[in-house]
Amino acid sequence: MIAVDTNILVYAHRADSKWHDAAAARLRELAEGTATWAIAWPCVHEFIGVFTHPRIYNPPSPLPIALEQVDAWLESPTVVMLAERVDYWPVLCDTVRETKVAGAMIHDARIAALCRHHGVRELWSADRDFSRFVDLRVTNPLLKREKR
């Protein structure tokens, strides 16, 4: 299963992003495909926050547009939403201990731990910080793919 990080979600929806076309195409492949894919709830929260933030985007996107976009993702019959379960805490602790992250990096550790906890094999992200989580394959889907 592939999970999608916040930056890919934002780029896919903000037409003024230089990565918009590539991100939108890749996200559409997942949403319209037959394979199960995932979004972590913390990425949804962050998407709404970034997408509507007036210091990040001028003008920011209206909240109703952000909420409509999340509704659209949730309509994909193959999407799985990643959330903490009762047995999540040890996974987060292991992830944090193994990578020795702290501060703002705890958010990324949370995403990595959620992926790990739900058996996600790959995270699509343009954030290089995820490379520290060695047991999670991170792919930037915005880079040109090599033909095989």
Query: The domain 2-139 belongs to what CATH superfamily?
Result: 5'-nuclease (3.40.50.1010)
Domain ranges of the chain: 2-139
Cβ 13 vs Cβ 72: under 8 Å:
no
Rounded-to-integer distance, Cα 103 and Cα 115, Å? 20
Which two three-digit tokens encode residue 66?
């952000």
> What's the pLDDT score for residue 12?
95
Summarize pLDDT for 2-35 with one digit per residue, the tens.
999 999 999 999 988 899 999 999 999 999 999 9
Q: What is the mean pLDDT of residues 77-103?
A: 95
Rounded-to-integer distance, Cα 45 and Cα 127, Å? 17
> What's the pLDDT score for residue 146?
47
Summarize pLDDT for 64-75 with one digit per residue, the tens.
999 999 999 999
Q: 11 vs 56, which has greater pLDDT? A: 11
Rounded-to-integer distance, Cα 39 and Cα 70, Å? 10
pTM: predicted TM-score of the whole model, two decimal places:
0.90
